[in-house]
Amino acid sequence: MNQISILLRISHGLVALIFVLLFISGQFNYMSFHIFFGHIMGALLLTRLLFGFVSKDAYLQWSRYIYHPKQLFKHLKKILVEKDNDLEIHNPAGSYLVLLILFCLVSIVFTGNLLESLFEFSGVLLLLTDFINTDFAYSISSFHQYSSYVMVALVITHISGVLYSSHLSRKNFPLMMITGNLKKS
C-alpha cells in the first residue's frame, strides 16, 4: 500500500482542528460553540469507529491496531535503545497511542453529551439525567475537564513521537499524512 486514504487524512486533520476549537471554547466558557464542536467531534469519532470495522483500507481497519504488549516493548526498545531507523508509519507504539487518544476522545464526547443533558436540559443523553444527582454531575464535569488535559498530553506525546520517528528514520511522517504518499519523503 503506497497511499494513506484521503478519508483518514481528512478525518485526522478535522479531529485535530475540532479538538483545538473545543479546548479553546471550553477554556473560555463559550458553551454554545463548545457544544456545537462537541457534536461535530462525536460525528467524526462515530464515523472513524465505524470505518474501522467496515473499511477495506488497511490503515483504517482496527485489526491493524492490535499488537501484543510484547511487540510494543520490543518496538520501544528498538527505537529508544537501539536507535533502529527502520520505522514504518504504522507501528505498535503509534497504534497504542491512537487507541488511547480515541478512548480519551470518546470519554470526553460521552461526558460532554451527558453534561449538556444535565446542565442545558437538552441533548442525546437527556433520559439518563434522572439517574444522576448533583454531586455526581459535578464529578462528571471534573472528569470531562481533566480528560481534556490528558488529551492534550496525549497529543503532545503523539506529535513528539511522530517527530522523533521522522528524525530517526529520515522519513517525513507529517508530510506523508498531508500528501498521503508513503514513499520516503
Q: Where are the domains of the chain?
A: 6-179
> 25, 37 in Cβ contact below 8 A?
yes
How many whole angstroms separate alpha carbon 85 and alpha carbon 82? 9
Is the model's pLDDT at 184 over the cut of 60? no
Those residues whose C-beta lies under 8 Å from the C-beta of residue 6, and which sit 6 or more positions away, are 180
pLDDT confidence tier of residue 182, bands split at 50, 70 and 90 = confident
Per-residue pLDDT tens for 91-118? 889 899 999 999 999 999 999 999 999 8
Specify the CATH architecture of the domain 6-179.
Up-down Bundle (1.20)
